[in-house]
Structures are given as C-alpha cells and as structure tokens.
Amino acid sequence: MTTEQAAGAWADGWARAWAEHDAERVAALYADGALFVTHPFREPDSPLEYARRVFAEEDELLDCHFGPPLVSGDRAAVEWWAVSRAAGRETTLAGTSMLRFGPDGLCVEHREYWAEAEGRRPRPRGS
C-alpha cells in the first residue's frame, strides 16, 4: 500500500468513525504500539482510549472535513476541520495530523496540532 493510499484510508476512516462515534474503527487505523499524541503538551495515549473518551464528551458531530493528504516518503500531513455539539454548545476544531505509516498501511506515529473556538466557524477558503 502506498503512503497516499494509507493516508487517504486514514482520513476516510477517521471521518466515518467520528461521525458514528466508533472508537473501535479509529483504533483499527493504527498499528499495535503506535505512538499517538493528540496535543503537543499531552502524554502519548492509546487511539482506542482517546477516541472512547472524546466521543463520550461529544453529543453530535455537525460537520467534518479532512483535506487531501500531503505525502512525503512514509509520512503524511492531513488538515481537518470539525464542528460538534456538546452540552448544548457548538465548538469548532481545526487541526493538522502529522502521520507516519507502516508498509501495511497502518499508522505507526500520529502527532496532532489543533485549535478550538466556540461556535460554528466556516472552513477557510481552499481547505
């Protein structure tokens, strides 16, 4: 599997898993023992435990978009944008996931950088 294919499958998988709050689907995108860091100042986490925790905090995903992966070698960067509702409030998340894939197409390293804003914010043009 090429890195382009792996990154595309990762983005599609995350979009579907997030919409359905399916933590097991998220975990299936990662190799056993993958490094998974969801914020520069957080400790590494398990993809499954992270997805379970954040999906439980969210009532509904209102909008979700993953941009086309930018690929170099076995690495990819994927920009994403989401609007969700939790406790009656809408929140917009925007971020980029920096990924590395193994030959089997599973993610072996995930580092994420993101920002959060209250309310619904439109995606920037071109994203």
Return the beta strands (E) in the chain as ranges.
30-37, 60-66, 70-72, 75-86, 89-101, 107-118
27 close to 97: Cβ distance less than 8 angstroms: no
Mean confidence (pLDDT) of the chain: 95
SS3 state of residue 24:
helix
Amino acid 123: pLDDT: 86
Amino acid 127: pLDDT: 63
Domains of the chain from N-terminus onward: 3-118 (3.10.450.50)
Q: Answer yes or no: is pLDDT of 126 > 80.
A: no
Tell me the pLDDT tens digit for each residue of 12-70.
999 999 999 999 999 999 999 999 999 989 999 999 999 999 999 999 999 999 999 99
Q: What share of the chain is helix, strand, coil (3-state, %, to 5)?
A: 25, 45, 30
Amino acid 122: pLDDT: 87
The mean pLDDT value for 69-89 works out to 96
Longest Cα–Cα distance of the chain, Å, equals 42
Amino acid 96: pLDDT: 97
Q: Answer yes or no: is pLDDT of 86 > 90.
A: yes
DSSP designation for 38:
S
